[in-house]
Structure 1
Amino acid sequence: MTFGRRLLVLFAAAAVLVAAGAWTVLRAGDASRGGDRADDGPPARAGVVTLGPHADGAQLVFRSMTWGPRRDHLAAVPLAGPRTTRTVAVPACLRFHAAAGTGICLQAVHGLLEDTYRAVVLDADLHERRGYDLAGIPTRARVSPSGHLVAWTVFVGGDSYAGTDFSTRTTILDTRTWTLQDDLETYAVTLDGKPYRAADTNIWGVTFADDEHFYATLATGGQTHLVAGDTGRHTLTTLHDNVECPSLSPDGRHIAYKKRVPGLSDDAPWRLYVLDLATMAETATTEERTIDDQALWLDDRTLAYALPGDDGSDLWTVPADGTGTPALLAAAALSPAVVR
C-alpha cells in the first residue's frame, strides 16, 4: 500500500470515529431535552422535583437509570401514572428515600483515582441540609415517617449480600439535633431471649416504625434475623429468622423482606415474602424471581421492588397478600419513595 493510500485510510477511519462520537453525544442530548424521549428510555423532561405535598396527588420519586447525562438523577412521576413523562432534577443519588419533606441521598463523588461516597440530607426542595462522608459503598437508605430520622447502610467490606464475605455499617441520624449513631453494632443484642455478642455481627436495612422504634436485619453465625430496635435504649431484639432487608407497611402490621429459600442457586437465593407481625405467619408473594432489594410499600397492599433491566434496574409491583401477578411499575428506575 502506497503512503498516499495509507493516509487516505487513516483519514477515513478518523472520520468514522468522529461521526460515532457525534452520534453518541447527540443521543445523550436527545435524552436530556425536556419533553424528548431517548430511543431506549422512558419519556423525560427537566423540571422541578419536590418532596413536599403535591396538589395533584402522591408522587413516586426515584433514581432515574436512563442512559444519558441525567442518569442517576432524581425523577418523579404521579403514583397514579408511573409511566407518564418523568420529571428529572438534581441531585444524583445511588440510593434514595424520603418521607415528610426529608430526603436521604447516598451519592458517589467521582475522583481521579477512585470514587468516594457521601450521605446528603435533603430538604423538601432537594437542597442539601447536611452531608456526611461514608465509609463504604451505599446499599440501603430509609427515612422515618416523621422525617426526623434517617438511616443508611454501606458495605465496608465486600459489595454483595449474596455470600458471607462482607461487612456492613449502619448509621441512624436525628435531623432535629444532628446526633449521629454511627454504628448500630454498638447496640446491645438479645438473641432468642438471651444477651448476645459476637465479632461477626452485621446489621443492615433499617425500616422505621416511628422516631424511637425500627426493624432491621442482624446477621451472625451464618444466619440472619429480624430485629426490633430502640434508638433511645440502644437495643436490638431478635423476632424472626431468615429475614433480610425488612420493610414495614404503612399501617405497621406487616414486614416485607427477602428470604433465602433452600434449593435455590447461591447467585439467586432470595424470594419476596411478607410477615404478619401479630401472628408471625409468612406469606410468599407471587414474584418468583430473586429479589436483592429493600422493597417499598406503595400502600398497605402493594409492594414495589427493583429487578435487573435493560438500563440496569426496573421497578416492579406485586400484591403483598400472595395473590395476583407481578407487573412493571417503571422502567429504568431504582430506589423509590412515595411522596404524599
Structure 2
Amino acid sequence: MSTKLRLVITAVVAVVLAGIAVGYAALSRTGVPDEVASTTVGGPRLVVLSNGRLSTVSRDDPGGPREVTEQRCDRVYRAGGTTSCLRPVGAFKAGELAVLDTGLREVRTVPLTGFPNRTRVSPSGRMVAWTLFVDGHSYAANGFSTSTGILDTRTGALVRSLEEFTSTVDGEPATAADRNFWGVTFAADDNRFYATMSTGTHRYLVEGDFAARTLRSVADNVECPSLSPDGDRIAYKAAVNGDPQQGWRLSVMDLRTLATTPLAEARSVDDQPAWVDGRTVAYGIQRDDGVNDVWSVPADGSGTPAILVPEANSPAPVD
C-alpha cells in the first residue's frame, strides 16, 4: 500500500471511529459483571479479558474466581513482566497501545489509528507487536487493510508498519502494493519473529529479522501464528481449502519439517491462538449472543475442545 493511500485511509478512519466504536466494542463483550474484583490470584495464571477488563485467573482453576483490574483493553498479552494493552477506540478518542509494567503501571503509549485486533509480547518482555484493521473488520473480507507494528521497549525503536521491511517470497522480492501483515509472534532471542503476509490470493507464514529489517516466506496458508514455548512449532489458523470465506481450521506446524497437524477443534477459529503450555493451545470463540469464551485443545491433534475460561477472551499464560 502506498504512503499516500495509507494517509487517505487513515484520515477516513479517524472520521468514522466515533460512529462505530460502540458497535465494535460490543463484539468483545462478555457476561461478567462490570466491576473490579478484590480476588487475588496466585500461582500459575492466565491473563484474559473479562468484559473488556484486564483480568487474571488461576491455571489450576481457570473457571473459578478471577482478579479483575481497572485496565480496559480490546486485546491484551503479557510476557516477561510486560503487558501490552490495545486500548479501545472511544467516541472522542482514537485507540492506543499501552505498555504496562509488572504493577500494571503505564510506561509507554503509542497512538494508533484503526481497530485493535492482535497483540503479542516477546518471552523476555522486551518486544511488543500489534495489528490493527485500518479498513475492514474481517480477514475473510475482500479489500481489508491492516497495519502491524513492533516496539522495542529497551531501545525505544518503533516500526509502525512491517511494510517498511524488505520482503521475499521463495527468494524473490515481494513488492506488491496489496501486501498486508498481521499476527506477530516472537522467538526467545528478541530479534526473530513470525507473522502472516498476504499478497494476491496467498497468505504466507513469514520469518522476520528485526535488526536486519527483513521478512522471508516459510509456508503458504498460515495465518495468525503463535510460536510454541520450545520454539519448534507454530499454532495457527489455516483457511479451509485455502479460502478464508470457508472459515479456518486450527492447526500446528512443525517448523523443522513443515508437517502440519489439524487440531481437534473443527469449528472455524478466527483468532491468534496462545500456548497455555507445551501441550495445550487456547483460543477465543464467540457465541451467537456475542459473548466470548476461551477454549483449549491438545496441540497434538488428540482429545476434544473444552471451555478453559468462560466469558473471557484474549488469553496469555503467566507463571
Is TM more than 0.5 here?
Answer: yes
What is the alpha-carbon distance in structure 1 between the residues aligned to residue 177 and residue 149 of structure 2? 18
Unaligned runs of 5+ in 1: 1-37, 65-70
What is the alpha-carbon distance in structure 2 between the residues aligned to residue 265 and residue 156 of structure 1? 19
Tell whether 2:92 aligns with 1:101: no
1:101 corresponds to which letter in structure 2? G
What is the alpha-carbon distance in structure 2 between the residues aligned to residue 308 and residue 259 of structure 1? 18
Cα separation, partners in 2 of 1:98 and 1:251, compared to 1, 3 Å? same
Aligned structure 1 segments of 4 or more residues deviating by more than 3 angstroms:
40-45
Aligned residues: 288
Displacement of 1:83 = 0.9
Q: Percent of aligned pairs with the same residue?
A: 49
Displacement of 1:165 = 1.3
Displacement of 1:290 = 0.2
1:14 match: none
8 Å contact kept, 2:36–2:70: no
Tell whether 2:132 aligns with 1:170: no
What is the alpha-carbon distance in structure 1 between the residues aligned to residue 242 and residue 80 of structure 2? 41
Is the deviation greater in 245-254 or in 103-112?
103-112
Cα separation, partners in 2 of 1:42 and 1:276, compared to 1, 3 Å? farther
CA-atom RMSD, angstroms?
A: 2.0
Tell whether 2:226 aligns with 1:235: no
What is the alpha-carbon distance in structure 2 between the residues aligned to residue 288 and residue 198 of structure 1? 34
1:122 corresponds to which letter in structure 2? L
Displacement of 1:337 = 1.1
Displacement of 1:127 = 0.9
Displacement of 1:251 = 0.3
What is the alpha-carbon distance in structure 1 between the residues aligned to residue 244 and residue 194 of structure 2? 27
Displacement of 1:264 = 7.4
2:104 match: 126
Tell whether 2:170 aligns with 1:179: no
Displacement of 1:328 = 0.5
2:301 match: 322
Is the deviation greater in 304-313 or in 125-134?
304-313
TM-score normalised according to structure 2 size: 0.86
What secondary structure sits across from 1:262 in the alignment? Answer: helix
Unaligned runs of 5+ in 2: 1-29
1:241-320 alignment to 2 at 5 Å? Answer: 241-262=220-241, 266=245, 268-309=246-287, 310=289, 312-320=291-299
What secondary structure sits across from 1:77 in the alignment? Answer: strand
2:26 match: none
1:1-340 alignment to 2 at 5 Å? Answer: 41=32, 46-47=37-38, 56-64=42-50, 71-112=51-92, 116-209=94-187, 210-262=189-241, 266=245, 268-309=246-287, 310=289, 312-340=291-319
TM-score normalised according to structure 1 size: 0.81
1:27-84 superposed Cα distances (whole Å, 9 cap, x missing partner): xxxxxxxxxxx9x6489861377xxxx8x421111110xxxxxx21111111111011
What secondary structure sits across from 1:240 in the alignment? Answer: strand
